[in-house]
């Protein structure tokens, strides 16, 4: 037969019975387990999604997603993802991606950032392209550029045609480790370079910040949850 358990009486508690101290001092292990922080990272492009999925995060749960939302629709996409699940932080990741002749693109870029902030989300925006973040692993630059410049620069560093092959899923999945293992690249340098660019331009209207990328803010956040 199973061993009988002793019931706890009110009189025993008041009397401070010695045997009761052993019972009151016991805690289930689950009480000491800290809940992992949850991040939703809504990306405008596939490259961004696969890059962030490559982070070896251990002490948090990250959910990078890409649904082909344009920068003007990104906040709505983020809200849709949070309807069924709750997150501690929501990040919107997108870039300017300047296209000559396209009307209202500066306004769309500025409004996308403002809308994300108004919704309580955080932004990792780049002007002109997300690839600026990769280039900053290798060098500092402060001259205004369009995405084709970053594509050609990465083509030289990586010995590929980045514009043609760099956007392929398999290659995008390798970028995090490629940068990590390349002796010429340094993530901390990229963080420092990006921070320097941002600090020098943060008081300007968003679309006038060029070159700039606030991806370093999200990278620093994820780095605090990496596998040690």
Domain limits for position 74 = 35-223
Tell whether 131 is covered by a domain.
yes
* Cβ pair 43, 93 in contact under 8 A: yes
Tell whether 21 is covered by a domain.
no
Distance, in Å, from the CA atom of 145 to the CA atom of 150, rounded to the nearest integer, reads 8
What CATH number did the domain enclosing 218 receive?
Answer: 3.40.50
Tell whether 5 is covered by a domain.
no
Tell whether 2 is covered by a domain.
no
Total number of domains constituting the chain: 1
Tell whether 228 is covered by a domain.
no
Among 8, 41, 33, 52, which Cα is nearest to 175's?
Answer: 52
Q: What is the pLDDT of residue 228?
A: 63
pTM summary value: 0.84
Residue partners of 58: CB distance under 8 A and separation at least 6: 225, 226, 227, 228
The one-digit pLDDT tens for each residue of the chain (228 residues) are 444 444 444 444 445 545 444 444 444 444 455 789 999 999 999 999 999 999 999 999 999 999 878 888 999 999 999 998 999 999 999 999 998 888 899 999 999 999 999 999 999 999 999 999 999 999 999 999 999 999 999 999 999 999 999 999 999 999 999 999 999 999 999 999 999 999 999 999 999 999 999 999 999 999 999 976
Please give the helix or strand (H or E) that residue 62 lies within, else none.
strand 60-66
Give the three-class secondary structure for 124.
Answer: strand
């Amino acid at each position: 037969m199973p061993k009988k358990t002793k019931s706890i009486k009110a009189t025993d508690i008041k009397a401070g019975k010695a045997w009761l101290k052993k019972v009151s001092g016991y805690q289930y292990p689950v009480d000491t387990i800290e809940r992992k922080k949850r991040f939703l990272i809504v990306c405008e492009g596939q490259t961004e999604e696969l890059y962030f999925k490559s982070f070896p995060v251990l002490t948090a749960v990250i959910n990078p997603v890409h649904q082909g939302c344009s920068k003007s629709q990104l906040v709505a996409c983020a809200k849709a993802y949070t309807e069924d699940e709750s997150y501690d932080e929501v990040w919107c990741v997108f870039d300017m991606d300047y296209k000559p002749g396209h009307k209202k693109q500066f306004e769309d870029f500025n409004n996308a950032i403002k809308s994300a902030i108004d919704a309580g989300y955080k932004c990792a925006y780049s002007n002109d392209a997300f690839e600026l973040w990769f280039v900053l692993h290798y060098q500092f630059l402060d001259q205004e550029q369009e995405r084709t410049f970053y594509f050609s620069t990465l083509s030289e560093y990586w010995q590929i045609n980045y514009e043609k092959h760099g956007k392929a899923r398999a290659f995008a999945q390798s970028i995090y480790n490629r940068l990590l293992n390349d002796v010429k690249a340094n993530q901390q340098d990229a963080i420092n370079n990006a921070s320097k660019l941002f600090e020098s331009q943060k008081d300007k209207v968003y679309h006038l910040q060029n070159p700039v990328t606030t991806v370093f803010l999200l990278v620093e956040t994820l780095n605090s949850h990496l596998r040690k």
